[in-house]
Amino acid sequence: MSARPAPHTSAIDVAAIRADFPILDQQINGKPLVFLDNAASSQRPRQVIDTISRYYEHDHANVHRGVHTLSQRATDAYEGAREIVRQFINAKDTKEIVFVRGTTEAVNLVAQSFVRPKAGPGDEILISGLEHHANIVPWQLVCEQTGAKLKVIPITPQGEVDFAAFEKLIGPRTRILALAHVSNALGTIVPVEKFIAVARQHGVPVLLDGAQAVPHGKVDVRALDCDFYCFSGHKMLGPTGIGVLYGRQKLLEAMPPWQGGGDMILSVSFEKTTYNQLPWKFEAGTPNISGTIGLGAAIRYLQSVGMERIAAYEHELLTYATQRLLEIPGLRIVGTAAHKAAVVSFVMDGIHPHDIGTILDTEGVAIRTGHHCAMPVMDFFKVPATARASMAFYNTHAEIDRLVAALEHTRQVLG
């Protein structure tokens, strides 16, 4: 099968961008690396790597309370990153930006500190059938702890959240609506504004899992009008082990700390502890200082490219990849929502997804195979797993052609 001519794009200078990512310049099994596993974890540009190295080489010390120069430098960089995040998602105040290990910890924090104290027998927690395990299991734990019930909004055969079903499920006992902004397994972009508007009418707070949304387009938490928004640094060019919980200030102020320890206190005696102000009340212990500073550098890099341009170019990649993959006999795309991020999940007749991934690796093509931490989605589509190609703005149309050629080779070997 011959490759189609790649559509011309002037959205971004992909060659210049790729030069910033040293990991892309290598061979796997004797072939140039094609990295299409960005939904699991993106790669890092030199600017992020250098920022982290510079911190460790020149500025490392523990943050807050230190009077010496290195501690002051580290604190300034750490808190400077908080302001970078605030601007990036248009939060009102840095008090609304809590640093956590990632999206998973952010959801657990809200589940245990905000929802658990309010929930009881007969109350309901509402999620969708599209969710990552990180937005399922924490709510199951709260249900076990409180006697509340987990209710699930069904999805359609296209992989979209059923809005009409949602309107019937939300009610006076709903304590929170927790939704993925973008599905990691299918790429579906959920029209969360519609869901939030209905939740507002019912007085139901809303948490959005934005791990797959923030790296790929502009997010404005005030425009969304959500109560909580969570995302992870490692999916947006930043380090692992760092993430963000955005929460409305009035809600965070009313929530008890989830973890206790140093830095989240103002005073401690054996009789009583006085907790620190926001956001430090939720940041117990020595934080991931280098990770936070690296996250700030990653956001600056994304902003230098431009979130609107990133979204436009990745949509081109998605369109091209979808067209090319559908040319392969026996290949079926799982998840065909009208609005998607640059993620394509698929299965091939007679070939297990793990075998697809293994053969592709011999061709230097890295994709993800499995249930993608979304087993209920796999159950819905009656497949054990899918192969998933997920693209970023440093990928190219030529790399998609390499993916298609590798899949054709897989079909010839195993089909």
DSSP SS3 for 13: coil
Find tokens 């790929």 and name the residue.
Answer: 216
Could you give the C-alpha distances from 240 to 43, 101, 337, in angstroms and in order?
11, 8, 30
Q: How far is CA 108 from CA 104, 207, 291, 336, in A?
A: 6, 11, 20, 30
How far, in Å, CA of 311 to CA of 294, rounded?
A: 22
Q: What share of the chain is helix, strand, coil (3-state, %, to 5)?
A: 45, 20, 40
- Structure tokens belonging to residue 11: 């959205």
φ, ψ (nearest 5 deg) of residue 59: -125, 5
- The Cα–Cα gap between 284 and 291 comes to 16
Residue that is written with structure tokens 């995040």 in the block? 85
Known catalytic residue at 373:
yes
The CB-side HSE value for 49 (13 A sphere, CA atoms) comes to: 8
> Which pair of structure tokens corresponds to residue 339?
């609005």
Catalytic residue among 143, 226, 230, 373: 373
Q: Which helix (H) or strand (E) holds 401?
A: helix 397-414
Query: What's the rounded Cα separation, in Å, for the pair 136 and 127?
Result: 8
Which helix (H) or strand (E) segment is 355 a member of?
Answer: helix 353-362
CB 113 within 8 A of CB 360: no
Q: Which sequence positions are flagged as catalytic?
A: 373
